[in-house]
Structure 1
Amino acid sequence: MEIGVSTFVETTPDPVTGEVISHAQRIREVVEEIVLADKVGLDVFGVGEHHREDYAASSPGVILAAVAPQTSRIRLTSAVTVLSSADPVRVFQDFATLDALSNGRAEIMAGRGSFIESFPLFGYNLDDYDELFEEKLELLLKIRETEKVTWRGGHRPAIQNLGVYPRPVQDPLPVWIGSGGNSESVVRAGLLGLPLVLAIIGGRPTQFEPLVRLYKRAAAKAGHDVSKLSVGSHSHGFIAEDSQSAADKFFPSTQQAMNKLGRERGWGLYDRSSFDFARSFEGALYVGDPKTVADKIIHLRKNVGITRFMLHVPVGTMPHGDVMKAIELLGTEVAPMVREEVTKWEESNKGML
């Protein structure tokens, strides 16, 4: 069971003071957060790509490359790379370079992107949303498969027996599929035999269990060894010494961020009752003291089949010190509890999982 953190490097106004920190400051803070995550024994840190004023990470690979020499064991991944509007050749080169700098700890999490700002920015038509992703994923996997590439598609110039360098330390360079819960994307990941990350940010996490079964059936049908495939969760949350403090600290920025997106996407208002339901045991928010959060992650492992959990923190803008403390508690208290209980449970269920 892998435990880690993901971030979108947000620079929304502080919900209390209204202050907006610079992109540069927030990027430097994230570097400190990744270094701490490595120090406290977490397994993975993901940085998500966005192209808008309130998110500072348009180039996750650059941020992760900056921190690679300052860390020793933590895996470094995009979360996600918006592959539909990117050049797969450049994506591979960037993360192969990160793989060299980190000595084999780089990963790519490829997704279609729930934010669409990158499409007009890089000259792509949203009418081609699905087709772009399928084509570019095909090229990315072709590049990682072979040094010399011959490929032709409909949205990018063809490649005729050209080399793509540098080659990564890992062979193959890990590529995960990020999904918001779309059954087609889940089946695609299974058929390709690629690890899957589900964005479980609403409703009841146990509702995602049928999608995990669908993913595994697709993988088995395509002849892949299902026992070797990983399923991850990207879930919002926050940890403090006690649950009430965690909730009170996390709610203001979460409400502000969710209502901003809600106005853009036509969602209903996000209020404290919605928040408190989501942080209940069956809800999708992993907010509380270390034992509360650990118990919810264990529940997710046992009932959904998640083998990698990524706590997305912060949502919106929170004090850097609070975020650092949450990462420390995740690594030093939550992760050991989860690993111990999951190991016992897996040992007792050998042959059944």
Structure 2
Amino acid sequence: MATIQLGLDTFGDVTRGADGELLSDAETIRNVVDQAVLADEVGLYFFGVGEHHRPEFAVSSPEIVLAAAAARTRSIRLGTAVTVLSSDDPVRVYERFATLDAISNGRAEIILGRGSFIESFPLFGYDLRDYERLFDEKLDLFSQLMAEQPVTWQGTMRAPLEAADVFPKTANGLTAWVGVGGTPESVVRAARYGYGLMLAIIGGPAHRFRPFVDLYRRSLTTFDRAPLPIGVHSPGHVAETDQQAWDEAYPGFEAMNNTIGRERGWPPYSRMRFQHDVGPEGALYVGSPETVARKIAATVTTLGVERFDLKYSTGTLSHEHMMRSIELYGTEVAPRVRELLAS
């Protein structure tokens, strides 16, 4: 556990500038690339960019943003959080990430998911009634493409393939995960196809997800697969003190929760709810470097995972605050987590 991989995720949230006005999508995207560069400079393992198709998030084509980051970074691994495979074409997805892998000299990763937001389905002409079948079939095809050999495949949601090959070829294959929000069926599916498991823990205590970790490992054994990595994705923010981190992060969490909540029927977000969520029983990793490090170490120990990705962008939190959060996460949180786990 002392060799835990620590990464960052962002959805490219559109943020506010010093004047209080929302930045343009273009400036937000350029800031995301700068954030990836800083993450590389402070020695973090992974930088992930999510795919969305709605006004709160600027990034709809993560691979292009990641390619820009690849050209300006040296060591950090680059991937998605997540790629909505259900509303995309597996062949094009594979080719785009194989291209990113070439640009980054083998640092590309992909986290595949069904998507917790549904805007991409009508946008690209898919029926939400096919939500499960789309992902199942496309994951099956993507899994065959991973071998980088000619593929013959037939399903019901896209045209069949006959001895079809994909290009470019990668030097050493792609690293791929399946992002799971917390259903047993999704956990078993990830094991069946041989993908790493990335648990999106965005609510409640981490220990609630231990049964999914155990199910995944049992399923790998059932499918006669070697052990595969398990990771956690959770929101957070780091500042010099707990109070500073809470005060900086709360407006963004409130804005984002209330925007999504109006669509999904959630009650209005409150400071009381926020303070619960940043506590031991909540899923927000917000506080000083010591507070965040201790909470991450506790989660890693409880679940026995190999990776933790902090979703450091939330709502309208400013670029400057996010840059400081990344700096503290890499220079103070990461070494303290390893120290705690080693002891």
Q: TM-score by structure 1 length? A: 0.94
Which residue of structure 1 aligns with residue 180 of structure 2? 179
Q: Point out 4+ residue stretches in structure 1 off by more than 6 angstroms.
A: none
Question: Are residues 33 and 15 of structure 1, via their aligned partners in 2, closer, same or farther at CA, if it must alter by over 3 Å?
Answer: closer
- Mapping for residues 61-210 of structure 1, pairs under 5 Å: 61-171=63-173, 173-210=174-211
Which residue of structure 2 aligns with residue 49 of structure 1? 51
The whole-number CA distance in structure 2 between the counterparts of 1:170 and 1:22 is 38
How far the C-alpha of 1:306 sits from its partner, in A, is 2.2
Letter in 2 for 1:279: V
Which residue of structure 1 aligns with residue 223 of structure 2? 222
Letter in 2 for 1:3: L
The whole-number CA distance in structure 1 between the counterparts of 2:199 and 2:140 is 21
The whole-number CA distance in structure 2 between the counterparts of 1:267 and 1:279 is 19
Question: Are residues 35 and 16 of structure 1, via their aligned partners in 2, closer, same or farther at CA, if it must alter by over 3 Å?
Answer: closer
The whole-number CA distance in structure 1 between the counterparts of 2:165 and 2:194 is 25
The whole-number CA distance in structure 2 between the counterparts of 1:313 and 1:190 is 28
Contact kept in structure 2, 1:83 and 1:136, CA below 8 Å: yes
Which residue of structure 1 aligns with residue 25 of structure 2? 23
Contact kept in structure 2, 1:192 and 1:219, CA below 8 Å: no
Q: Which moved more, 1:35-44 or 1:181-190?
A: 181-190
Which structure 1 residue ranges, 5 or more long, are not aligned?
A: 346-353
Q: Higher relative contact order at CA 8 Å, sep ≥6: structure 1 or structure 2? A: 2
How far the C-alpha of 1:340 sits from its partner, in A, is 2.7
Contact kept in structure 1, 2:17 and 2:318, CA below 8 Å: no
Which structure 2 residue ranges, 5 or more long, are not aligned?
A: none
RMSD between aligned residues: 1.4
How far the C-alpha of 1:281 sits from its partner, in A, is 2.2
3-state SS of paired residue (1:236): strand
Letter in 1 for 2:202: I
Letter in 2 for 1:231: I
How far the C-alpha of 1:215 sits from its partner, in A, is 0.9
1:250 aligns with 2:253: no
Contact kept in structure 1, 2:97 and 2:108, CA below 8 Å: yes
3-state SS of paired residue (2:52): coil
Contact kept in structure 1, 2:205 and 2:280, CA below 8 Å: no
Contact kept in structure 2, 1:15 and 1:252, CA below 8 Å: no
Contact kept in structure 2, 1:99 and 1:170, CA below 8 Å: no
Question: Are residues 27 and 15 of structure 1, via their aligned partners in 2, closer, same or farther at CA, if it must alter by over 3 Å?
Answer: closer
- Deviations 1:247-293, CA, capped at 9 Å, x for gaps: 01000111110011011001112100110011112321100000110
How far the C-alpha of 1:187 sits from its partner, in A, is 1.1
Q: Which moved more, 1:34-43 or 1:136-145?
A: 136-145
1:11 aligns with 2:10: no
How far the C-alpha of 1:203 sits from its partner, in A, is 1.0
The whole-number CA distance in structure 2 between the counterparts of 1:189 and 1:52 is 27
Contact kept in structure 2, 1:15 and 1:256, CA below 8 Å: no
3-state SS of paired residue (1:241): coil
The whole-number CA distance in structure 1 between the counterparts of 2:92 and 2:338 is 36
How far the C-alpha of 1:15 sits from its partner, in A, is 11
Give the count of matched residue pairs. Answer: 340
How far the C-alpha of 1:18 sits from its partner, in A, is 5.6
Sequence identity of aligned pairs in percent? 51
Q: TM-score by structure 2 length? A: 0.96
Question: Are residues 324 and 15 of structure 1, via their aligned partners in 2, closer, same or farther at CA, if it must alter by over 3 Å?
Answer: closer
Which residue of structure 1 aligns with residue 213 of structure 2? 212
Which residue of structure 2 aligns with residue 312 of structure 1? 311
How far the C-alpha of 1:338 sits from its partner, in A, is 1.1
How far the C-alpha of 1:17 sits from its partner, in A, is 6.4
The whole-number CA distance in structure 1 between the counterparts of 2:183 and 2:139 is 17
Letter in 2 for 1:157: A
